[in-house]
Amino acid sequence: MIVSIARKEFSEIVRDGRFKWTAGMMALLLLTAMAAGCQKHSAYMDMQRLSQDRTNAQWLNQGNKNPHAGAHYGNYAFKPAGPLAFFDNGINHYAGNALFMEAHKQNFALGRPATDQSSIGRFGDLSGAMILQLLMPLLIIFLGFTAFAGERESGTLRQALSMGVSNRQLLWGKALGIGAVVALITGLCVAAGGLALSLTGLSMENESLGARVALMALSYSLYAGIFLFLTLAVSAWAKNVRTALMVLVGFWAFAAFLAPKAAVEISKAAHPTPAFGQWMADMRTHQMRGIDGVPPFARFQQESEALFAEYGAESVAELPVYVGALRLQKFEEYDFPVFEQHFGRLRDAYTRQRRLQDRLGIVAPTLPLRSLSMTLAGTDLIRHIQFADAAEAYRREMVATVNNYLGEAAASLNSGYGGGNVLIADEAVFAMVPPFEFAPQGLGKALSEHAGNFVALALWLAAALGLAIGAARRLKVDGD
């Protein structure tokens, strides 16, 4: 029985002129978004790869100079887009993609595409994810708001129920019918997008692509299910189709547009992001003051005796390493905890904001889905932080390598004065630093942050299902 109701619902929708329009538009938009996403993604990845190779080569061929000057010349880390960025570009437009790694300074990733876009860009990306997050729910509402209310108004509900169909059968049949239509449209388009991407031939080893796609499909199915059952619940409960439509469209506008922005403002008020000027002044002051209140020069003086003892030396002249290089490296290390504290403070604010936004998903299912989708696409904040961490680890290693080389190679300068500029490092010395390569952590690590989001989606689905079953049980055969 359920199957025949579903079949009836399916063919009724498919034969409806409204459906042809909405479904056609939706399919067209999805295909456009997927095609554009693939094209932009592969162009970005080509550019990223090329630029990283170029700067890695530039590091090697920077010319002969003092090795520490080489660390000032530094290198760049360019951020790869994330394995499913063609589908969900996440924060990529708003987070920098080029991180300068140099001596003495931990930097932010710069070059945010949003800075170079006109304000039109702020309306958002037309991506597959955006369409499924914002438009798919509306499609479900349009297809389903008349499911019960419409049949009641036209009197066919009484007929159907008089034939011995149970309320519950009717509900499942309709859910199945509408669900099949939605799955058909979105499934086809997403498959086309995936095919196009596989044709671009980007390598994505170690990115557990299969798991990502499967979880993505699961998340979006849960999301679609929520709207499907909510639509049926409201349609069964509402007195007439007009009310059903108003309530559903109102909820959609709230969940998809109002809630995310409101959640952002609330999270910013609860966990304020420090302003750049304030943050910069705090960190630089702290740096000069020293982490424990002892400025770097004084601290080096204090520690020098113990430091020299490590080398079995009593004076500078006996040191087996160049004292200038030793001091450079020590100063570098004194800054680590300061950087960790201040960059950490910023990240904490970001992470707390994100968690609060996720938790606010309890009032709007779009929030947890959006968060999950970005993580699965590898275009989220967690991955951005991993990238910044990888760059910082590389920077420390890079600077230490050349400073230590300077220390050993220039040990004879300890007796001289200021000769550090004379020592020349060449390509062989710079080659001691391996090229930068970003190896993202596994998907499991990122997903461990998202258990709550899966729970939120599941709760929403359970609630929507409960409402639908409840409304179907109390289904009134006549309106008004």
Partner 1 sequence: MKRIIISHETRQLFRSGAFRALLLLLAGAVAFAAWSGQRSIDRQIEGANAAAAFEDGHRNKMRADTEKYQARVAAEGGEYQFASARHGAGEGPPQGTNAGVVGSATAKYLRLPPTGLAPFSVGQSDIQLSYVPVSMNPAIHITRDNELENPVNLMTGSFDIAFVVIFLLPIFILAISYDLLSSEKERGTLAMVLAHPISLKALMVSKIAARAGVLFAAVLALGLAALLAVGDGLGSFDTWARFGLWAAATLLYALFWFALSVLVNVHGGNSAANGIALAGTWLALVVVVPTLAGLLATTLYPAPSRMELTTAARQAQTEAESAYMARLSEYYYDHLEFVPEGDERAMDFLTVAMANRNAIDKAVRPLHDEFQSQLNRQESLVRRFQFISPAIMMQLALNEISGTSADRYEHFLNQAFDFRDEWSDFFTVRFLRRAPLKPSDYDQFPTFEYQEEPFATVLTRLLPSLAGMLALLGGAILIPFAGLRRYPVATS
Q: Which of 261, 436, 457 is nearest to 376 (CA)?
A: 457
Residue 447 CA to residue 64 CA, distance in Å, equals: 46
In whole angstroms, the minimum distance from the beta carbon of 123 to partner 1 comes to: 4
Contact status, residue 365 vs residue 460, Cβ threshold 8 Å? yes
Contact status, residue 197 vs residue 38, Cβ threshold 8 Å? yes
Contacts (CB under 8 A) with partner 1, residues 213-252: 241-242, 245-246, 249-250
- State which residue, 2 or 440, has the beta carbon closest to partner 1: 440
33 near partner 1, rule: CB under 8 A: yes
In whole angstroms, the minimum distance from the beta carbon of 11 to partner 1 comes to: 20
- State which residue, 2 or 259, has the beta carbon closest to partner 1: 259
- State which residue, 272 or 320, has the beta carbon closest to partner 1: 272
Eight-state DSSP code of residue 123: G
201 near partner 1, rule: CB under 8 A: no
Q: How many residues contact partner 1, by CB under 8 A?
A: 96
Q: Which of 468, 469, 454, 328 is nearest to 403 (CA)?
A: 328
- State which residue, 98 or 447, has the beta carbon closest to partner 1: 98
- State which residue, 8 or 65, has the beta carbon closest to partner 1: 65
Write the burial class of residue 362 (CB in 10 Å: 0-12 exposed, 13-18 middle, 19+ buried): middle
Contact status, residue 328 vs residue 401, Cβ threshold 8 Å? no
112 near partner 1, rule: CB under 8 A: yes
Per the rule left: phi > 0, alpha: psi between -120 and 50, beta: everything else, 125 is beta
Q: Could you write out the three-class secondary structure of 268-286?
A: HHHCCCCCHHHHHHHHHHH
154 near partner 1, rule: CB under 8 A: no
353 near partner 1, rule: CB under 8 A: yes
Q: Which of 154, 206, 278, 441 binds partner 1 (CB under 8 A)?
A: 278
Q: Which of 14, 27, 32, 218 binds partner 1 (CB under 8 A)?
A: 32
Contact status, residue 118 vs residue 135, Cβ threshold 8 Å? no
In whole angstroms, the minimum distance from the beta carbon of 397 to partner 1 comes to: 20
281 near partner 1, rule: CB under 8 A: yes
Site string for partner 1, 45-64 (x = CB under 8 A): --xx--x--xx--x--xxx-
297 near partner 1, rule: CB under 8 A: yes
What's the first-to-final CA gap in the chain, in angstroms?
29
| CB neighbourhood size of 22 (10 A) | 17
Eight-state DSSP code of residue 435: P
- Which residue matches tokens 């159907």? 160
Contacts (CB under 8 A) with partner 1, residues 367-406: 380-381, 384
Q: Which stretch binds partner 1 (CB under 8 A): 124-132, 182-190, 206-214, 395-403?
A: 124-132
Q: Which of 183, 188, 199, 280 binds partner 1 (CB under 8 A)?
A: 280
- State which residue, 259 or 461, has the beta carbon closest to partner 1: 259
**Token output for 334:** 């004194």
